[in-house]
Every structure is written in structure tokens, then in C-alpha cells.
Amino acid sequence: MKLRRMRAVFRKEMLHIVRDVRSLSLALALPITMLLLFGFALTLDVDRIPTYVYDQDQTKESRELIDQFRGSRYFSILGAAGEYRPIEKFIDKSQILMSVVIHKDYSKNLLSGRQADVQLLLDGSDSNTASIALGYATGIVQNYAAQLRSDAQVKRGGGRLKIPVEPQIRVWYNSEQKSRNFVVPGLISVTLMIIASLLTSLTIAREWENGTMEQLLSTPVRPSELVLGKLLAYFCLGVTDMLICVLVGIFVFQVPFRGSVWFLFFGSCLFLFGVLGLGIFISASTRSQLLAYQLGMLSSFLPAYLLSGFLYSVSNMPKVIQLISYIVPARYFIKIINAVFLKGVGVSMLSGELAMLAAYGSVVFFFALRKMRQKVA
């Protein structure tokens, strides 16, 4: 392998990238567009839950309970109903998620010291959201009940009711508890995997379709020099996309960055080398740009979103799917980029993920080089 020949291939590919203004604009604009679109649209926060109230009691005590829901940021009281039928209608139309029903004897039972029941009606179509909403509502009712018991004891001259165990909660790394701080770094990983795989999946297939591969083969350039030259050209483009995405995450989405810039750069280089090698392997395996594009999309988009732990926890997946996820590089890079952004940890805590990315890149590059030699032969 000679550096001069590899540099010539690199220069040729860079000239092609720069001269193809539409492809270059797409390669630079698409990651930003995807990051902005999904970053603002995709949220895992459950708040401002649309809620209706059915107050059968119509007393001071029932209104105080409703005020507890109205003052919470997790619930949005849209209105009040006078019977069950409108509530059922709104839930069927998905206009509300929950309804709070206060029974007629609520205040009477409450003031007499008996158990006062509150009914919560939820739309369980989305079980995860319904469970979270139920937890919020239960917490509000329990806190209000504890406050009433304490006030009642004070009136009886017994002093303020003391809670035997009082939790002191401290949230580490994401103290604001915003899902955006977790989603945006994951989006950077997923977006880069898709873009990098698609860009390189077309490069060798395009040479075959345009008839320029025969000209390259007539030169002294070896397959290893050809693969490395093309890979390095798109590697520079991938690093540029990475830099843009990180800046957007920090300055547009205000995601805290607590780690080392150089460690993130090193991990990004390992990740880009692996996914670019995957695109080269796909491109070397077929001579059709259409087929290469379809294979690139299939091997990057679905695994990056479904098997990386970005949207769904890998530990909750079936064992067979968990085993398949080990060959998805985005799984390891998402852990790295989230840990660097939010926790500020370094190589001592993420050495396993770095090793897996390095192993993945080496294996993919080996098969890409082998496939290229078979095509040339």
C-alpha cells in the first residue's frame, strides 16, 4: 500500500463531493433537519395531561382537591362534566386522557374521618402513558390526604403530624428531568449512522454504474488503497456532520455537556469508521445504486432506531433480539455520547463500549476489503 495512491483516491473523491453541490448540501443539511425535527417533536415527557373533572360533591373540600390537580404542571384541566357520558365520549375520541370523579359523599366521609374515595378514569390505550398519569394522580391524592390528616390532628390539639420516614431526593446528571437531554444525544448517534451508511453505500456502486470503475482498475491503485481513500473522504464529511450536530445539541437544545471534547471526538471517530465501513461493504457487494441505497437504509435506519436502546430499552427486549443488538454500533455510541454529555465520564467507565466499536470497525473493514478484492478479481 502506498500513501501517494491512497491520497490520489482521497482527492478524487473529495472533488466529487465538493462538485456535487446537491449531494453535499443534502449531506450537511439532512442531519440538522433530522435533529431539529425529531429533537422538538420527539419527547418522552408526560405532562399537561388533558383531564376532565366530574365533581358530584360540589363542596369546599372537593374544590380544594381539584385545585391540587389544577396547580400541578402534569395536568391540564380542560373542563368539568355533569355526568359520565361526556367523559366516555371524550375518552373514546382521545380528547382527554384522564378524568377525576369525586363522589357525592366525599366531604362528608372526609370530615367524619371515614375513607373518602376518588375515582380516576384513564384511557389505557397507551399503557405506558396511562401508568405514568396514574402515578402522578395517585401522588397528588395521597399528598392531599396526608395534608388533611395533619391539619385534622392540629385542630385536635395533637400537633403537626410527623412523617416517620421522609425521603430526600437528589437527581443526578439530569436534574431538570427533561427527556430532551437524553433524546438529543441519542438522535446524534442515530442520525450519523443513517447518513454515514447511506453516503458510502453509493460510492463504489456509482463507479460501476458510471463505467469509471474500469478506469480505476486500469491504474496501479490497489483495492485496499481504493477503499481507504474513499472511506477517508467521507470520514471528513462525517466528522463535519458530527461537529454540527453537537453544536446544535449544545446551543439550540441546551443539552448540558459535562465530558471531554477530545474523548467524544475519539469515540465518534471509532463509530464513524465502523458505519462508513459498513456502507463501503454494502457498496462493494452490489453494482446497483438503487439496491445499495435500499440495503444501506435497511441496515442502518431500522437497527439504529429499534435495536440501539434509543427509544426502547434493550434489557426489556427478548433474549434473541438482545443478542442481535450486539452487532449494532449505535448501541455502544449512544451509551458513550449520553455518558459524555450528561455524566462527564471518560475512558475508564466506557472502555468496553470503545472496544466493541473498535472491534466492529475492524471486522466490517476486513469484510469490505475482502469483498472489494473479490469484485476486482
SS3 assignment for the chain: CCHHHHHHHHHHHHHHHHHCHHHHHHHHHHHHHHHHHHHHHCCCCCCCEEEEEEECCCCHHHHHHHHHHHCCCCEEEEEECCCHHHHHHHHHCCCCCEEEEECCCHHHHHHCCCCCCEEEEECCCCHHHHHHHHHHHHHHHHHHHHHHHHHHHHHCCCCCCCCCCCCCCCCCCCCCCCCHHHHHHHHHHHHHHHHHHHHHHCHHHHHHHHCCHHHHHCCCCCHHHHHHHHHHHHHHHHHHHHHHHHHHHHHCCCCCCCCCHHHHHHHHHHHHHHHHHHHHHHHHHCCCHHHHHHHHHHHHHHHHHHCCCCCCCHHHCCHHHHHHHCCCHHHHHHHHHHHHHHHCCCHHHHHHHHHHHHHHHHHHHHHHHHHHHHHHC
Confidence of residue 353 (pLDDT cuts 50, 70, 90): very high
Residues 330 and 352 in one domain: yes
Walk across the sheet containing 98-102 and list its strands: 75-80, 49-55, 98-102, 118-122
Largest CA-CA distance found in the chain, in angstroms, rounded? 99
Name the nearest CA neighbour of 32 among 274, 294, 235, 252: 252
Residues 149 and 183 in one domain: no
Residues 8 and 99 in one domain: no
Cα atoms in the 13 Å half-sphere on the side-chain side of 334? 27
**Residue 374 CB partners (closer than 8 Å, separation 6+):** none
Specify if 322 maps to a domain. Answer: yes
The set of cell numbers assigned to 300 is 442502518
Residues 71 and 185 in one domain: no
Radius of gyration of the chain (CA): 29
Confidence of residue 50 (pLDDT cuts 50, 70, 90): very high
Higher pLDDT, 109 or 343: 343
Residues 90 and 122 in one domain: yes
109 burial type by CB count under 10 A (0-12 exposed, 13-18 middle, 19+ buried):
middle
3 burial type by CB count under 10 A (0-12 exposed, 13-18 middle, 19+ buried):
exposed
Specify if 141 maps to a domain. Answer: yes
CA distance 128 to 239: 37
Confidence of residue 1 (pLDDT cuts 50, 70, 90): low
Q: What's residue 153's pLDDT?
A: 63
Confidence of residue 32 (pLDDT cuts 50, 70, 90): confident
pLDDT higher than 80, residue 130: yes
| Residue with grid cell 435495536, as numbered in its chain | 307
Residues 15 and 115 in one domain: no
Specify if 309 maps to a domain. Answer: yes
Please tell me the least confidently modeled range out of 68-82, 220-234, 322-336: 220-234
The tens digit of pLDDT for each residue in 248-266 reads: 989 988 888 998 999 999 9
Q: What's residue 162's pLDDT?
A: 61
Residues 54 and 27 in one domain: no
Residues 23 and 122 in one domain: no
Boundary residue ending a domain (155, 190, 217):
155
What's the mean per-residue pLDDT of the chain? 84
pLDDT higher than 70, residue 268: yes
pLDDT higher than 80, residue 192: yes
pLDDT higher than 80, residue 103: yes
CA distance 273 to 263: 16
Q: What's residue 159's pLDDT?
A: 55
Residue range 239-250: average pLDDT? 90
CA distance 43 to 339: 19
pLDDT higher than 70, residue 84: yes
Specify if 96 maps to a domain. Answer: yes
pLDDT higher than 70, residue 160: no
Specify if 106 maps to a domain. Answer: yes
Burial 23-62 (b: 16+ CB within 10 A, else e): eeeebeebbbebbeebbeeeeeebeebbbbbbbebebebb
Distance of CA 44 to the CA centre of its chain: 9
| Residue with grid cell 439530569, as numbered in its chain | 174
Q: What's residue 156's pLDDT?
A: 62
Specify if 162 maps to a domain. Answer: no
Distance of CA 33 to the CA centre of its chain: 15
Specify if 334 maps to a domain. Answer: yes
Q: What's residue 46's pLDDT?
A: 80
CATH classification at residue 115: 3.40.1710.10
Residue range 170-181: average pLDDT? 79
Residues 280 and 340 in one domain: yes
Residues 148 and 7 in one domain: no
Give residue 323's domain range.
Answer: 3-43+178-376
Residue range 56-67: average pLDDT? 87
Specify if 306 maps to a domain. Answer: yes
Q: What's residue 23's pLDDT?
A: 75
The tens digit of pLDDT for each residue in 307-329 reads: 888 877 888 888 999 899 899 99
pLDDT higher than 60, residue 343: yes
Beta strand 98-102 with 118-122 is: antiparallel
Residues 233 and 303 in one domain: yes
Confidence of residue 334 (pLDDT cuts 50, 70, 90): very high
pLDDT higher than 70, residue 125: yes
In degrees, to the nearest 5, what angle opens at C-alpha 49 toward C-alphas 121 and 88? 35
Q: What's residue 112's pLDDT?
A: 73
Residues 186 and 306 in one domain: yes
Q: What's residue 360's pLDDT?
A: 93
Cα separation values, 203 from 282, 351, 374, Å: 10, 32, 17
**Structurally, how many domains does the chain consist of?**
2
Higher pLDDT, 374 or 115: 115
Q: Note every long-range contact of 160-168, with CB atoms under 8 Å and residues 24 or more positions apart, other chains counting.
A: none
